[in-house]
């Protein structure tokens, strides 16, 4: 009866807690081999730690409130040595060995070449470069697509300050450090969209430096990649001209057009990405117009200059053009 009441009391709380763990950006979601290891490690450490807390609290209660026989029991030298030295040494050593064993992650399966992607942290967005075996590259930004069940190898670097690349549902966090290339390997185990976030304070707009990772079947990944390799497909010639006339091409590349800038995100297929501004807005014509007109408000401090000189018609024209860049 009392156990039933306890369960009834705890159930809503536990439901709320576990709902919070089901998020697109939760380390406990475990939608990748590596994050599954991390989640298991978390639960084992939590259980082990809780057990120790319960044990220590019980011993303390006995020492304070117990009768004289119990007090004598806990204050015996043998009890102190056993519970105060032997037990912690055994438990902590076991957890340490287990933690090291866990760190030794599964090697990629033989004969399975990883998908190689370079991700460069920039204040405050992500440059993403797919590297094919023949040395050719395809650049995009603020979104990763990876095939389900295939090992992925990320080369993580930075163009400016320290950033930290973290997609909690897929893998652990790895810093992007000036002058150094770090490697992160993971294999996604569930086809879905998850979210990542810069996890190291990198200046003003750090909190607005997110991105999405789309995990999809190997077949749709390959057709997406082929689409990305192609030049821009827009037939909106007036929009393309306006883009150059407004000076956008000085910072943004749109392959197949005269826009060849590399300071900002590559926009060749920006209309097909889930978000713009590194996770700030969901993509769509409205979003492009809002970004051009008020990005300094939507993402304060970002490195794109304000374009107050553009008329509403020009802004809408540019937005419509960007939306055609599928």
216-225 contacts: CB < 8 A, separation 24 or more? 216/145, 216/146, 216/147, 216/148, 216/191, 217/147, 217/148, 217/191, 218/147, 218/148, 218/149, 218/150, 221/145, 221/146, 221/147, 221/148, 222/147, 224/145, 225/130, 225/138, 225/145
Which among ligand HEC, Cu ion, none contacts residue 198 (Cβ within 5 to 8 A by kind)? Cu ion
Rounded to a whole number of angstroms, the minimum distance from the CB of residue 202 to Cu ion is: 3
Binding site for ligand HEC (CB under 6 A): 124-125, 141-142, 205, 246-248, 250-252, 263-265, 267, 270, 273, 276-278, 288, 291-292, 299, 302-305, 307, 318, 322
Nearest approach, Cβ of residue 280 and ligand HEC (Å): 7
- Over the window 199 to 228, marking each residue x when it contacts Cu ion by CB under 5 A and - when it does not, the resulting string is ---x---x--x-------------------
Contact partner, 202, from Cu ion, ligand HEC, none, Cβ < 5-8 Å per class = Cu ion
Residue 163 beta carbon to ligand HEC: minimum distance, rounded to whole angstroms: 12
**Residue 124 preceded by cis peptide, ω within 30:** yes
54: helix, strand or coil: helix
Distance of CA 285 to the CA centre of its chain: 26
Contact present, 164 and 156 (Cβ < 8 Å): no
Q: Would you say the C-alpha torsion 220, 221, 224, 230 has a positive or negative sign?
A: negative
Which residue's CB is nearer to ligand HEC, number 116 or number 303?
303
Cα 57 from chain centroid? Answer: 38
- Residues written for the chain: 326
With CB under 5 to 8 Å by kind, the binding choice for 271 among ligand HEC, Cu ion, none is none
Which 138-197 residues touch Cu ion, going by CB under 5 A? Answer: 163
CB of residue 235 vs ligand HEC: minimum separation in angstroms?
A: 18
Q: Which does 251 bind (CB under 5 to 8 A by kind): ligand HEC, Cu ion, none?
A: ligand HEC
Q: Which does 206 bind (CB under 5 to 8 A by kind): ligand HEC, Cu ion, none?
A: Cu ion
**Contact residue for Cu ion among 138, 141, 154, 198 (CB under 5 A):** 198
CB 266 within 8 A of CB 140: yes
Residue whose CB is less far from ligand HEC, 173 or 303: 303
194 touches, from ligand HEC, Cu ion, none (C-beta below 5 to 8 Å by class): none
In whole angstroms, the minimum distance from the beta carbon of 64 to Cu ion comes to 48
Q: In the bound complex, what is the minimum distance in angstroms from residue 273's beta carbon to Cu ion?
A: 20
The span from the CA of 282 to the CA of 5, in Å, is 45
Decide which of ligand HEC, Cu ion, none touches 253; Cβ closer than 5 to 8 Å per partner kind: none
3-state secondary structure of 132: coil
CA 274 to chain centre: 15
Give the total of residues touching Cu ion (CB under 5 A).
5
Q: Using DSSP, state whether 258 is helix, strand or coil.
A: coil
Q: How many CB atoms lie within 10 A of CB 121?
A: 26
> What minimum distance in Å lies between the beta carbon of 161 and ligand HEC?
13
Report the interface residues with Cu ion, using CB under 5 A: 163, 198, 202, 206, 209
């Amino acid at each position: 009866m009392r156990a039933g009441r306890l369960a009834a009391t705890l159930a809503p709380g536990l439901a709320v807690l576990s709902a919070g763990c089901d998020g697109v950006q939760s380390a406990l979601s475990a939608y990748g081999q590596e994050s599954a290891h991390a989640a298991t490690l978390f639960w084992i450490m939590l259980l082990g730690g809780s057990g120790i807390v319960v044990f220590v609290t019980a011993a303390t209660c006995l020492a304070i409130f117990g009768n004289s026989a119990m007090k004598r029991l806990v204050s015996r030298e043998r009890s102190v040595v056993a519970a105060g030295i032997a037990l912690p040494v055994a438990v902590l050593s076991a957890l340490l060995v287990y933690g090291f064993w866990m760190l030794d992650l599964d090697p990629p399966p033989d004969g399975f070449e990883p998908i190689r992607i370079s991700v460069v942290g920039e204040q405050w967005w992500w440059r993403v470069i797919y590297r094919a075996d023949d040395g050719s590259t395809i650049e995009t930004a603020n979104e990763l697509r990876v095939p389900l069940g295939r090992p992925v190898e990320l080369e993580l670097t930075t163009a400016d300050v320290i950033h930290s690349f973290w997609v909690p549902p897929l893998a652990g966090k790895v810093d992007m450090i000036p002058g150094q290339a770090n490697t992160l390997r993971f294999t996604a185990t569930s086809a879905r969209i998850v979210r990542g976030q810069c996890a190291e304070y990198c200046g003003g707009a750090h909190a607005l430096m997110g991105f999405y990772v789309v995990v999809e079947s190997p077949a749709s990944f390959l057709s997406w990649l082929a689409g990305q390799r192609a030049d821009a497909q827009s037939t909106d010639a007036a929009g393309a001209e306006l883009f150059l006339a407004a000076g956008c091409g000085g910072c943004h590349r749109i392959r197949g057009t005269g826009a060849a800038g590399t300071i900002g995100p590559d926009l060749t297929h920006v209309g097909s990405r889930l978000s713009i501004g590194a996770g700030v807005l969901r993509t769509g014509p409205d979003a492009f117009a809002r970004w051009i007109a008020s990005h300094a408000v939507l993402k304060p401090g970002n490195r794109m200059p304000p374009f107050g000189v553009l008329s509403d018609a020009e802004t809408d024209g540019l937005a419509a053009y960007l939306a055609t860049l599928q």
